[in-house]
Chains A and B, each alone.
Chain A
Protein backbone atom coordinates (compact mmCIF):
# COMPACT_ATOMS: atom_id res chain seq x y z
CA UNK A 1 0.00 0.00 0.00
CA UNK A 2 1.43 3.38 -0.92
CA UNK A 3 1.68 6.17 1.62
CA UNK A 4 -0.94 8.10 -0.33
CA UNK A 5 -3.47 5.25 -0.12
CA UNK A 6 -2.85 4.91 3.61
CA UNK A 7 -3.37 8.61 4.16
CA UNK A 8 -6.56 8.61 2.06
CA UNK A 9 -7.98 5.58 3.86
CA UNK A 10 -7.23 7.07 7.26
CA UNK A 11 -8.60 10.46 6.22
CA UNK A 12 -11.87 8.77 5.38
CA UNK A 13 -12.16 8.01 9.12
CA UNK A 14 -11.59 11.64 10.07
CA UNK A 15 -15.26 12.35 9.55
CA UNK A 16 -16.05 9.93 12.39
CA UNK A 17 -13.23 11.33 14.52
CA UNK A 18 -14.74 14.78 14.09
CA UNK A 19 -18.19 13.41 14.86
CA UNK A 20 -16.97 12.07 18.22
CA UNK A 21 -15.16 15.32 18.91
CA UNK A 22 -17.95 17.77 18.13
CA UNK A 23 -20.82 15.70 19.49
CA UNK A 24 -18.93 15.12 22.74
CA UNK A 25 -18.38 18.87 23.16
CA UNK A 26 -21.99 19.56 22.22
CA UNK A 27 -23.31 17.25 24.96
CA UNK A 28 -20.56 17.31 27.58
CA UNK A 29 -20.27 21.10 27.94
CA UNK A 30 -23.90 21.64 29.05
CA UNK A 31 -24.15 18.27 30.81
CA UNK A 32 -21.08 19.22 32.84
CA UNK A 33 -22.88 22.39 33.96
CA UNK A 34 -25.87 20.35 35.10
CA UNK A 35 -23.59 18.01 37.05
CA UNK A 36 -21.73 20.98 38.55
CA UNK A 37 -25.05 22.42 39.70
CA UNK A 38 -25.98 19.10 41.28
CA UNK A 39 -22.57 18.89 42.91
CA UNK A 40 -23.01 22.34 44.40
CA UNK A 41 -26.62 21.70 45.43
CA UNK A 42 -27.68 22.40 48.99
CA UNK A 43 -29.66 19.15 48.97
CA UNK A 44 -27.14 16.71 50.43
CA UNK A 45 -28.16 13.49 48.60
CA UNK A 46 -28.12 15.27 45.22
CA UNK A 47 -24.67 16.64 45.85
CA UNK A 48 -23.44 13.28 47.16
CA UNK A 49 -24.71 11.39 44.10
CA UNK A 50 -23.08 13.92 41.78
CA UNK A 51 -19.84 13.70 43.74
CA UNK A 52 -19.87 9.91 43.52
CA UNK A 53 -20.56 9.94 39.76
CA UNK A 54 -17.77 12.42 39.16
CA UNK A 55 -15.29 10.39 41.18
CA UNK A 56 -16.17 7.12 39.38
CA UNK A 57 -16.02 8.73 35.93
CA UNK A 58 -12.70 10.38 36.65
CA UNK A 59 -11.31 7.45 38.58
CA UNK A 60 -11.81 4.73 35.97
CA UNK A 61 -10.31 4.52 32.47
CA UNK A 62 -12.27 6.04 29.60
CA UNK A 63 -11.51 2.80 27.78
CA UNK A 64 -13.48 0.79 30.35
CA UNK A 65 -16.35 3.24 30.17
CA UNK A 66 -16.44 2.91 26.38
CA UNK A 67 -16.60 -0.87 26.65
CA UNK A 68 -19.21 -0.70 29.41
CA UNK A 69 -21.52 1.62 27.46
CA UNK A 70 -21.08 -0.20 24.15
CA UNK A 71 -21.31 -3.83 25.32
CA UNK A 72 -22.90 -3.42 28.76
CA UNK A 73 -26.49 -3.47 27.46
CA UNK A 74 -25.77 -6.78 25.67
CA UNK A 75 -24.32 -8.50 28.76
CA UNK A 76 -26.87 -7.05 31.16
CA UNK A 77 -30.10 -7.17 29.19
CA UNK A 78 -29.25 -9.21 26.12
CA UNK A 79 -29.90 -6.16 23.94
CA UNK A 80 -27.91 -6.60 20.73
CA UNK A 81 -25.00 -4.21 20.27
CA UNK A 82 -26.18 -1.40 18.05
CA UNK A 83 -24.73 -1.41 14.53
CA UNK A 84 -24.10 2.31 14.72
CA UNK A 85 -21.44 2.48 17.40
CA UNK A 86 -21.36 6.28 17.20
CA UNK A 87 -24.21 6.42 19.71
CA UNK A 88 -22.57 4.47 22.56
CA UNK A 89 -19.20 6.03 21.82
CA UNK A 90 -20.61 9.56 22.04
CA UNK A 91 -22.55 8.67 25.20
CA UNK A 92 -19.42 7.31 26.88
CA UNK A 93 -17.29 10.27 25.84
CA UNK A 94 -19.98 12.77 26.84
CA UNK A 95 -20.51 11.49 30.37
CA UNK A 96 -16.77 11.08 30.90
CA UNK A 97 -15.98 14.61 29.73
CA UNK A 98 -19.02 16.04 31.53
CA UNK A 99 -17.43 14.85 34.78
CA UNK A 100 -14.22 16.71 34.00
CA UNK A 101 -16.05 19.83 32.83
CA UNK A 102 -18.23 19.73 35.97
CA UNK A 103 -15.16 19.95 38.17
CA UNK A 104 -13.79 22.82 36.09
CA UNK A 105 -17.09 24.71 36.28
CA UNK A 106 -17.33 24.13 39.99
CA UNK A 107 -13.81 25.41 40.56
CA UNK A 108 -14.63 28.47 38.45
CA UNK A 109 -17.88 29.19 40.27
CA UNK A 110 -16.21 28.79 43.66
CA UNK A 111 -13.42 31.15 42.65
CA UNK A 112 -15.89 34.01 42.20
CA UNK A 113 -15.61 36.61 44.95
CA UNK A 114 -18.69 36.68 47.20
CA UNK A 115 -18.87 40.46 46.67
CA UNK A 116 -20.21 39.89 43.16
CA UNK A 117 -23.19 37.97 44.54
CA UNK A 118 -23.73 40.54 47.28
CA UNK A 119 -23.64 43.50 44.91
CA UNK A 120 -26.15 41.73 42.65
CA UNK A 121 -28.41 40.84 45.56
CA UNK A 122 -28.51 44.41 46.89
CA UNK A 123 -29.36 45.67 43.39
CA UNK A 124 -32.33 43.31 43.38
CA UNK A 125 -31.21 40.79 40.75
CA UNK A 126 -32.93 37.42 41.00
CA UNK A 127 -30.78 34.35 41.58
CA UNK A 128 -31.15 33.29 37.95
CA UNK A 129 -30.25 36.76 36.65
CA UNK A 130 -27.25 36.90 38.97
CA UNK A 131 -25.97 33.58 37.72
CA UNK A 132 -26.61 34.08 34.02
CA UNK A 133 -25.66 37.75 33.66
CA UNK A 134 -23.01 38.30 36.28
CA UNK A 135 -21.45 35.05 37.47
CA UNK A 136 -21.45 32.80 34.40
CA UNK A 137 -19.77 35.20 31.95
CA UNK A 138 -16.94 35.76 34.40
CA UNK A 139 -16.67 32.05 35.18
CA UNK A 140 -16.38 31.22 31.47
CA UNK A 141 -13.57 33.70 31.13
CA UNK A 142 -11.78 32.21 34.15
CA UNK A 143 -12.09 28.57 33.13
CA UNK A 144 -11.35 28.96 29.43
CA UNK A 145 -7.68 27.87 29.75
CA UNK A 146 -8.70 24.69 31.61
CA UNK A 147 -11.46 23.98 29.11
CA UNK A 148 -8.93 24.37 26.28
CA UNK A 149 -6.74 21.78 27.99
CA UNK A 150 -9.63 19.34 28.11
CA UNK A 151 -10.49 19.95 24.48
CA UNK A 152 -6.88 19.25 23.44
CA UNK A 153 -7.04 16.01 25.43
CA UNK A 154 -10.36 15.14 23.81
CA UNK A 155 -8.80 15.37 20.34
CA UNK A 156 -6.25 12.75 21.34
CA UNK A 157 -8.77 10.66 23.32
CA UNK A 158 -10.97 10.15 20.25
CA UNK A 159 -8.42 7.42 19.35
CA UNK A 160 -9.79 5.40 22.29
CA UNK A 161 -12.78 4.53 20.11
CA UNK A 162 -10.60 1.78 18.61
CA UNK A 163 -11.32 -0.29 21.75
CA UNK A 164 -14.87 -0.81 20.49
CA UNK A 165 -13.77 -0.96 16.83
CA UNK A 166 -15.53 2.23 15.85
CA UNK A 167 -14.14 3.01 12.41
CA UNK A 168 -12.63 6.39 13.10
CA UNK A 169 -9.25 7.51 11.80
CA UNK A 170 -7.07 5.80 14.39
CA UNK A 171 -8.96 2.51 14.27
CA UNK A 172 -8.49 2.40 10.50
CA UNK A 173 -4.81 3.30 10.94
CA UNK A 174 -4.33 0.51 13.45
CA UNK A 175 -5.95 -2.00 11.09
CA UNK A 176 -3.69 -0.90 8.22
CA UNK A 177 -0.66 -1.09 10.52
CA UNK A 178 -1.59 -4.69 11.36
CA UNK A 179 -2.33 -5.85 7.85
CA UNK A 180 0.69 -4.12 6.29
CA UNK A 181 2.98 -4.71 9.30
CA UNK A 182 3.92 -1.07 8.97
CA UNK A 183 4.63 1.66 11.47
CA UNK A 184 3.74 4.42 9.00
CA UNK A 185 -0.02 4.63 9.90
CA UNK A 186 0.90 5.61 13.47
CA UNK A 187 3.09 8.43 12.18
CA UNK A 188 0.26 9.56 9.92
CA UNK A 189 -2.17 9.45 12.89
CA UNK A 190 0.28 11.50 14.94
CA UNK A 191 0.42 14.15 12.24
CA UNK A 192 -3.40 14.24 11.98
CA UNK A 193 -3.83 14.74 15.76
CA UNK A 194 -1.10 17.32 15.87
CA UNK A 195 -2.64 19.39 13.08
CA UNK A 196 -6.11 18.98 14.62
CA UNK A 197 -4.80 20.37 17.89
CA UNK A 198 -2.97 23.21 16.16
CA UNK A 199 -6.37 24.29 14.85
CA UNK A 200 -7.98 23.83 18.28
CA UNK A 201 -5.26 25.94 19.93
CA UNK A 202 -5.61 28.62 17.28
CA UNK A 203 -9.38 28.83 17.66
CA UNK A 204 -9.33 28.74 21.47
CA UNK A 205 -6.54 31.33 21.48
CA UNK A 206 -8.80 33.62 19.45
CA UNK A 207 -11.72 33.03 21.81
CA UNK A 208 -9.58 33.68 24.89
CA UNK A 209 -8.25 36.85 23.36
CA UNK A 210 -11.74 38.01 22.52
CA UNK A 211 -12.84 37.44 26.11
CA UNK A 212 -9.89 39.17 27.75
CA UNK A 213 -11.18 42.68 27.13
CA UNK A 214 -11.25 43.20 30.87
CA UNK A 215 -8.90 42.32 33.70
CA UNK A 216 -10.26 40.14 36.48
Chain B
Protein backbone atom coordinates (compact mmCIF):
# COMPACT_ATOMS: atom_id res chain seq x y z
CA UNK B 1 0.00 0.00 0.00
CA UNK B 2 1.18 3.53 -0.68
CA UNK B 3 2.24 5.59 2.30
CA UNK B 4 1.23 8.74 0.43
CA UNK B 5 -1.11 9.17 -2.47
CA UNK B 6 -1.87 12.56 -3.92
CA UNK B 7 -4.52 12.73 -6.62
CA UNK B 8 -5.53 15.55 -8.92
CA UNK B 9 -4.00 18.22 -6.71
CA UNK B 10 -4.80 21.81 -7.66
CA UNK B 11 -3.29 24.82 -5.99
CA UNK B 12 -3.35 28.50 -6.91
CA UNK B 13 -1.94 31.60 -5.28
CA UNK B 14 -4.38 34.23 -6.52
CA UNK B 15 -4.19 34.10 -10.31
CA UNK B 16 -1.03 32.03 -10.22
CA UNK B 17 -2.05 28.42 -10.95
CA UNK B 18 0.91 26.65 -9.37
CA UNK B 19 -0.15 23.00 -9.21
CA UNK B 20 -2.25 21.80 -12.12
CA UNK B 21 -3.70 18.39 -11.53
CA UNK B 22 -0.75 16.65 -9.89
CA UNK B 23 -1.08 12.95 -9.08
CA UNK B 24 1.59 10.70 -7.66
CA UNK B 25 2.12 8.15 -4.92
CA UNK B 26 4.96 6.99 -2.72
CA UNK B 27 5.24 3.37 -1.65
CA UNK B 28 6.75 2.11 1.56
CA UNK B 29 10.53 2.06 1.44
CA UNK B 30 10.61 4.05 -1.76
CA UNK B 31 12.85 7.06 -2.38
CA UNK B 32 11.29 9.55 -4.77
CA UNK B 33 13.17 12.60 -6.01
CA UNK B 34 11.40 15.60 -7.44
CA UNK B 35 13.40 17.72 -9.84
CA UNK B 36 12.44 20.61 -12.07
CA UNK B 37 13.09 24.25 -12.86
CA UNK B 38 12.71 27.02 -10.32
CA UNK B 39 9.10 28.06 -9.83
CA UNK B 40 7.70 24.79 -11.16
CA UNK B 41 5.86 24.17 -7.87
CA UNK B 42 8.09 21.58 -6.18
CA UNK B 43 8.15 23.30 -2.80
CA UNK B 44 4.45 24.06 -3.04
CA UNK B 45 3.77 20.38 -3.63
CA UNK B 46 5.76 19.38 -0.52
CA UNK B 47 4.07 22.12 1.48
CA UNK B 48 0.69 20.79 0.39
CA UNK B 49 1.68 17.24 1.36
CA UNK B 50 2.67 18.48 4.83
CA UNK B 51 -0.40 20.73 5.28
CA UNK B 52 1.65 23.92 5.34
CA UNK B 53 -0.46 25.01 2.36
CA UNK B 54 -4.06 23.99 1.77
CA UNK B 55 -4.95 22.54 -1.59
CA UNK B 56 -7.83 23.93 -3.67
CA UNK B 57 -8.87 20.56 -5.07
CA UNK B 58 -7.74 16.95 -4.99
CA UNK B 59 -7.20 14.12 -2.55
CA UNK B 60 -4.37 13.55 -0.08
CA UNK B 61 -4.25 10.03 1.29
CA UNK B 62 -1.87 8.75 3.97
CA UNK B 63 -1.87 5.02 4.76
CA UNK B 64 -5.19 4.63 2.98
CA UNK B 65 -6.91 7.36 5.00
CA UNK B 66 -7.94 10.61 3.42
CA UNK B 67 -6.46 13.74 4.97
CA UNK B 68 -8.11 15.87 2.30
CA UNK B 69 -10.82 14.83 -0.11
CA UNK B 70 -13.48 16.22 -2.43
CA UNK B 71 -17.01 16.45 -1.06
CA UNK B 72 -19.72 18.01 -3.23
CA UNK B 73 -17.10 19.65 -5.40
CA UNK B 74 -15.28 21.18 -2.44
CA UNK B 75 -12.00 20.15 -0.89
CA UNK B 76 -12.46 19.18 2.76
CA UNK B 77 -9.69 18.44 5.24
CA UNK B 78 -9.96 15.81 7.97
CA UNK B 79 -10.55 17.13 11.51
CA UNK B 80 -7.71 15.14 13.06
CA UNK B 81 -4.87 16.53 10.95
CA UNK B 82 -2.46 16.20 13.88
CA UNK B 83 -2.87 12.44 13.71
CA UNK B 84 -1.81 12.58 10.06
CA UNK B 85 1.13 14.78 11.02
CA UNK B 86 2.53 11.87 13.03
CA UNK B 87 2.97 9.97 9.78
CA UNK B 88 5.40 12.38 8.16
CA UNK B 89 8.40 14.55 8.88
CA UNK B 90 9.73 17.51 6.94
CA UNK B 91 13.29 18.74 6.59
CA UNK B 92 13.46 22.39 5.57
CA UNK B 93 15.96 24.06 3.31
CA UNK B 94 17.00 26.44 6.10
CA UNK B 95 16.71 23.89 8.94
CA UNK B 96 14.30 25.85 11.16
CA UNK B 97 15.82 24.45 14.31
CA UNK B 98 14.64 26.06 17.55
CA UNK B 99 17.61 28.30 18.43
CA UNK B 100 16.83 28.60 22.14
CA UNK B 101 17.01 24.85 22.71
CA UNK B 102 19.98 22.51 22.76
CA UNK B 103 20.33 19.87 20.06
CA UNK B 104 18.95 17.23 22.42
CA UNK B 105 15.96 19.37 23.45
CA UNK B 106 15.25 20.12 19.77
CA UNK B 107 14.99 16.37 19.23
CA UNK B 108 13.30 15.32 22.45
CA UNK B 109 10.69 17.98 22.99
CA UNK B 110 8.17 16.99 20.33
CA UNK B 111 8.24 13.24 21.06
CA UNK B 112 7.76 14.02 24.75
CA UNK B 113 5.29 16.90 24.67
CA UNK B 114 3.42 16.08 21.44
CA UNK B 115 3.50 12.28 21.36
CA UNK B 116 3.54 12.09 25.19
CA UNK B 117 6.23 9.47 25.17
CA UNK B 118 8.40 8.55 28.13
CA UNK B 119 11.22 11.05 28.55
CA UNK B 120 14.01 8.63 29.45
CA UNK B 121 13.09 6.31 26.63
CA UNK B 122 13.09 9.22 24.16
CA UNK B 123 16.42 10.46 25.49
CA UNK B 124 18.02 7.04 24.96
CA UNK B 125 16.66 6.91 21.43
CA UNK B 126 17.77 10.44 20.57
CA UNK B 127 21.28 9.91 21.92
CA UNK B 128 21.44 6.76 19.78
CA UNK B 129 20.35 8.71 16.71
CA UNK B 130 22.93 11.41 17.40
CA UNK B 131 25.66 8.81 17.76
CA UNK B 132 24.64 7.28 14.46
CA UNK B 133 25.03 10.68 12.80
CA UNK B 134 28.38 11.31 14.45
CA UNK B 135 26.89 14.13 16.49
CA UNK B 136 27.04 12.57 19.96
CA UNK B 137 29.32 15.31 21.25
CA UNK B 138 26.81 17.98 20.14
CA UNK B 139 23.87 16.88 22.28
CA UNK B 140 24.21 19.87 24.58
CA UNK B 141 25.29 22.39 21.95
CA UNK B 142 22.97 25.12 20.70
CA UNK B 143 22.18 25.27 16.97
CA UNK B 144 24.16 28.52 16.61
CA UNK B 145 27.28 26.67 17.70
CA UNK B 146 27.05 24.21 14.80
CA UNK B 147 28.06 24.42 11.16
CA UNK B 148 25.32 24.51 8.53
CA UNK B 149 25.91 20.87 7.68
CA UNK B 150 25.66 19.86 11.33
CA UNK B 151 22.49 21.94 11.75
CA UNK B 152 20.89 20.22 8.79
CA UNK B 153 21.86 16.81 10.16
CA UNK B 154 20.32 17.79 13.49
CA UNK B 155 17.13 18.84 11.75
CA UNK B 156 17.06 15.43 10.07
CA UNK B 157 17.41 13.62 13.39
CA UNK B 158 14.81 15.93 14.93
CA UNK B 159 12.39 14.68 12.27
CA UNK B 160 13.54 11.07 12.73
CA UNK B 161 12.98 11.27 16.49
CA UNK B 162 9.25 11.39 15.75
CA UNK B 163 9.55 8.00 14.01
CA UNK B 164 7.82 9.16 10.84
CA UNK B 165 6.76 6.71 8.17
CA UNK B 166 7.75 9.11 5.45
CA UNK B 167 10.25 11.95 5.39
CA UNK B 168 10.06 14.96 3.06
CA UNK B 169 13.11 17.04 2.16
CA UNK B 170 12.88 20.41 0.45
CA UNK B 171 16.28 21.15 -1.05
CA UNK B 172 18.12 20.00 2.06
CA UNK B 173 21.51 21.16 0.83
CA UNK B 174 20.72 24.41 -1.00
CA UNK B 175 21.45 26.60 2.00
CA UNK B 176 24.81 24.96 2.59
CA UNK B 177 28.33 25.80 1.44
CA UNK B 178 29.30 23.34 -1.28
CA UNK B 179 31.87 21.62 0.92
CA UNK B 180 29.15 20.84 3.50
CA UNK B 181 26.58 19.28 1.19
CA UNK B 182 28.42 15.94 1.17
CA UNK B 183 27.87 15.19 4.86
CA UNK B 184 24.12 15.81 4.54
CA UNK B 185 23.73 13.80 1.35
CA UNK B 186 25.62 10.96 3.01
CA UNK B 187 23.07 10.89 5.83
CA UNK B 188 20.16 10.80 3.38
CA UNK B 189 21.86 8.03 1.43
CA UNK B 190 22.29 6.07 4.64
CA UNK B 191 18.57 6.48 5.36
CA UNK B 192 17.77 5.27 1.84
CA UNK B 193 19.83 2.16 2.47
CA UNK B 194 17.81 1.57 5.63
CA UNK B 195 14.67 1.71 3.48
CA UNK B 196 13.34 4.94 4.92
CA UNK B 197 10.47 6.21 2.75
CA UNK B 198 11.51 9.61 1.43
CA UNK B 199 10.48 12.34 -0.98
CA UNK B 200 13.37 14.62 -1.85
CA UNK B 201 13.13 17.88 -3.78
CA UNK B 202 16.63 18.56 -4.98
CA UNK B 203 18.80 20.31 -7.52
CA UNK B 204 21.61 17.76 -6.98
CA UNK B 205 21.08 15.70 -10.11
CA UNK B 206 23.83 13.14 -9.59
CA UNK B 207 22.57 12.58 -6.06
CA UNK B 208 18.98 12.16 -7.26
CA UNK B 209 20.17 9.68 -9.81
CA UNK B 210 22.18 7.69 -7.29
CA UNK B 211 19.75 7.58 -4.40
CA UNK B 212 16.24 7.44 -5.90
CA UNK B 213 14.00 4.58 -6.86
CA UNK B 214 11.92 6.98 -8.88
CA UNK B 215 12.45 10.47 -10.24
CA UNK B 216 9.65 12.93 -10.92
CA UNK B 217 10.32 15.83 -13.27
CA UNK B 218 7.99 18.77 -12.72
CA UNK B 219 7.61 21.86 -14.88
CA UNK B 220 4.95 24.54 -15.00
CA UNK B 221 2.86 22.88 -12.30
CA UNK B 222 2.53 19.48 -13.93
CA UNK B 223 4.47 16.23 -13.75
CA UNK B 224 6.11 16.06 -17.15
CA UNK B 225 7.88 12.76 -16.75
CA UNK B 226 8.55 10.18 -14.09
CA UNK B 227 10.27 6.86 -13.85
CA UNK B 228 13.38 5.03 -12.74
CA UNK B 229 16.43 7.33 -12.60
CA UNK B 230 18.11 5.39 -15.42
CA UNK B 231 15.16 6.20 -17.65
CA UNK B 232 14.58 9.83 -16.70
CA UNK B 233 18.28 10.70 -16.88
CA UNK B 234 19.51 8.13 -19.41
CA UNK B 235 16.58 7.60 -21.75
CA UNK B 236 14.72 10.90 -21.43
CA UNK B 237 11.37 10.93 -23.20
CA UNK B 238 10.04 14.47 -23.02
CA UNK B 239 11.65 17.40 -24.81
CA UNK B 240 11.00 19.60 -21.77
CA UNK B 241 12.93 17.23 -19.51
CA UNK B 242 15.79 16.96 -22.01
CA UNK B 243 16.03 20.72 -22.17
CA UNK B 244 16.11 21.02 -18.38
CA UNK B 245 18.75 18.35 -17.92
CA UNK B 246 20.82 19.86 -20.70
CA UNK B 247 20.76 23.29 -19.06
CA UNK B 248 21.90 21.54 -15.92
CA UNK B 249 24.81 19.85 -17.59
CA UNK B 250 25.90 23.13 -19.14
CA UNK B 251 26.09 24.88 -15.80
Binary flags per residue of B81-100, CB closer than 8 Å to A gives 1, else 0:
01001101110101011111
Chain B residue nearest in CB terms to A141: B100
Interface size class of B (residues with CB under 8 A): 20 to 34
Asked whether any CB of chain B lies closer than 8 Å to the CB of A214, the reply is: yes
Cβ contact within 8 Å between A133 and B109? yes
Contacts of B114 in A (CB 8 A): 123-125, 129
Contact present for B82 and A116 (CB under 8 Å) = no
Set of chain B residues within 8 Å of A123, measured between Cβ atoms: 85, 110, 114, 158, 162
Chain B residues closer than 8 Å to A116, beta-carbon distance: 96, 98
Interface residue total, chain A, C-beta cutoff 8 A: 21
Could you give 19 example pairs across A and B, Cβ below 8 Å? A113-B96, A118-B92, A119-B97, A121-B51, A121-B85, A122-B88, A122-B90, A124-B82, A124-B85, A124-B110, A124-B114, A125-B110, A125-B114, A141-B100, A214-B99, A214-B142, A214-B143, A214-B144, A216-B99
Instruction: Check B100–A119 contact: CB distance below 8 A.
Output: no
From A119, A122, A126, residue with most partner B Cβ within 10 Å: A122
A137 neighbours in B (Cβ, 8 Å): 100
Q: Known contacts A116-B98, A141-B100, A215-B99: does B82 contact A122 (CB below 8 Å)?
A: no
Q: Is there a chain A Cβ closer than 8 Å to B52's Cβ? A: yes
Take A137-B100, A138-B99, A138-B100 as given contacts and tell me if A115 and B52 are in contact as well, using a CB distance cutoff of 8 Å: no
| Chain A, 90-133, CB within 8 A of any chain B CB | 113, 115-116, 118-119, 121-126, 129, 133
Known: A124-B86, A215-B144. A115 touches B110 (CB 8 A): no
CB atoms of B86 and A115 under 8 A apart: no
- Give Cα distance in the complex from A214 to B50, angstroms: 29
A134 within 8 A of B: yes
Residues of A within 8 A of B (CB): 113, 115-116, 118-119, 121-126, 129, 133-134, 137-138, 141, 213-216
Residues of B within 8 A of A138 (CB): 99-100
- Is chain B's binding surface mostly helix, strand, loop or mixed? loop
Taking the closest CB of chain A, its distance from the CB of B4, in whole angstroms, is 14
Asked if A133 and B142 make an inter-chain contact with CB atoms under 8 angstroms apart, the answer reads no
Inter-chain contacts of B90 with A (CB < 8 A): 122
CA distance A119 to B52 in the complex (A): 10
Min CB gap A161→B, angstroms: 38
- How far does the alpha carbon of A45 sit from the alpha carbon of B234 in the complex, in Å? 60
- Whether A115 touches B94, Cβ cut-off 8 Å, given contacts A125-B114, A141-B100, is yes
Nearest CB on A from B104, distance (A): 14
> Given A115-B96, A119-B97, A138-B100, 13 other A-B contacts at CB below 8 A?
A116-B98, A118-B52, A119-B92, A121-B52, A122-B50, A122-B85, A122-B89, A124-B110, A124-B114, A124-B115, A125-B113, A137-B100, A216-B99
